[in-house]
Amino acid sequence: RCQCYCSQSRKNGAPNFGLFFDIDGVIVRGKHILPGAREAFKLLTDKNGKFWVPSVFLTNAGNTLRQYKAKKLSEWLGIQVDPEQVVMSHSPLQMFRQFMDKHVLVSGQGPTLQIAKCLGFTKVSTIDDLRDAFPKLDMVDHERRQAALCAFEKYFPKIDVVLLLGEPVRWETNLQIIIDVLVTNGRPSEAPSVIPFPHIPVLACNMDLLWMAEAPMPRFGHGCFLNCLESLYYKITGYPLKYTTLIGKPSELTYHHSENILQDEAHKLGLPGVKRIYAIGDNPETDIYGANLFNRYLCKKHANALSQKKRVNRQGQEVSEDDDNEKPENINSDLC
């Protein structure tokens, strides 16, 4: 269907549609590119490897910077992918300006500190920083049961926000330390007399329970880690864990952010914008559900815009202005 649209639009000159591409399970499995991916992208790019159809790569991965992902995609596909075309699960966090000057504890995998700083957070500590400053907290590994070299914890500034980027490597350490921070209002050196609730803000990305890597079966994703965290927090405190935001697919916020980027890509190509979005993904609970949610939002927005435009004709009847050119926005998202 896409191939058909592509060749039709190419003949007509200017495509009025755009594409959202999932990465894991659609373009690659782990580090291996899937058959047909390179050929598919040839249809969307010119002989210099530059896109002529507005395209955005929308992944729930959160373990790297989008510059790095763009570089990998360019290598895998043999085309030119710009960092601006990549939306990682954490990318929309740059909109949360109210937290940028707060002291943030970041959990995840890969260059977590660098990712948080690139998003705009200015005061960032990692789980490893806390593990070093508070060696008594992480005691699952009996080998680590040692006295602290000095009382670093006295000088450790209060944590204001917990930022969950993706599944970490040593789950028990992260689960323990995040819960310590939540039940102490950000000061894990002090045993709480009462459990504070609501707890300090928690910003989380990527709710994928499972995702496709090299293994024949899907692997645990960050959603599994969040599930453990929510369940332990509830068992220990009796309170539900509340996210200030939970972004990545299928959240609407992520789709709004991605649509803005897609429209920018269209403008960069000299196009007036996209009227239809095709979202291509492999996970029914995130890619398909998210695209359907966004589609529902767009349909409602379109319906509201039309009803506001209703006017009364000479006979006193209500009529709607059904002129396509006058519609403020006429975007639909479809699934391939």
Q: Which residues bind Mg ion (CB under 5 A)?
A: 22, 24-25, 282-283
C-alpha separations of 5 from 11, 37, 63, 68, 265 in Å: 10, 17, 34, 30, 19
User: Could you say which residues in the range 12-71 bind ligand G3P, by CB under 6 A?
Assistant: 22-25, 59-61
**Residue 168: contacted member of Mg ion, ligand G3P, none (CB under 5 to 8 Å, by partner type):** none
Shortest Å distance, C-beta 328 to ligand G3P: 31
Question: Which residues are bridge partners to 87 per DSSP?
Answer: 58
Shortest Å distance, C-beta 92 to ligand G3P: 14
Shortest Å distance, C-beta 267 to ligand G3P: 25
Strands (E) across 180-261 are located at 202-205, 210-211, 219-220, 245-247
Select 95 or 209, whichever has its Cβ closest to ligand G3P: 209
Rounded to 10 deg, the angle between the 2-12 and 37-44 helix axes is 20
Q: How many residues does the chain have?
A: 336
User: Could you say which residues in the range 274-313 bind ligand G3P, by CB under 6 A?
Assistant: 283
**Residue 221: contacted member of ligand G3P, Mg ion, none (CB under 5 to 8 Å, by partner type):** ligand G3P
CB neighbours (10 Å) of residue 200?
19
Distance CA 250, CA 297 (A): 13
Shortest Å distance, C-beta 27 to ligand G3P: 8
Does residue 50 contact residue 270 with C-beta atoms inside 8 Å?
no
**Residue 59: contacted member of ligand G3P, Mg ion, none (CB under 5 to 8 Å, by partner type):** ligand G3P
User: Could you say which residues in the range 207-226 bind ligand G3P, by CB under 6 A?
Assistant: 208, 211, 221
Shortest Å distance, C-beta 234 to ligand G3P: 24
| Residue 205 binds to ligand G3P (criterion: CB under 6 A) | no
Distance CA 287, CA 207 (A): 12
Residue with token string 């050119």: 325
Distance CA 113, CA 126 (A): 7
Select 87 or 175, whichever has its Cβ closest to ligand G3P: 87
Shortest Å distance, C-beta 22 to ligand G3P: 5
Binding residues (CB under 6 A) for ligand G3P: these are 22-25, 59-61, 206, 208, 211, 221, 283
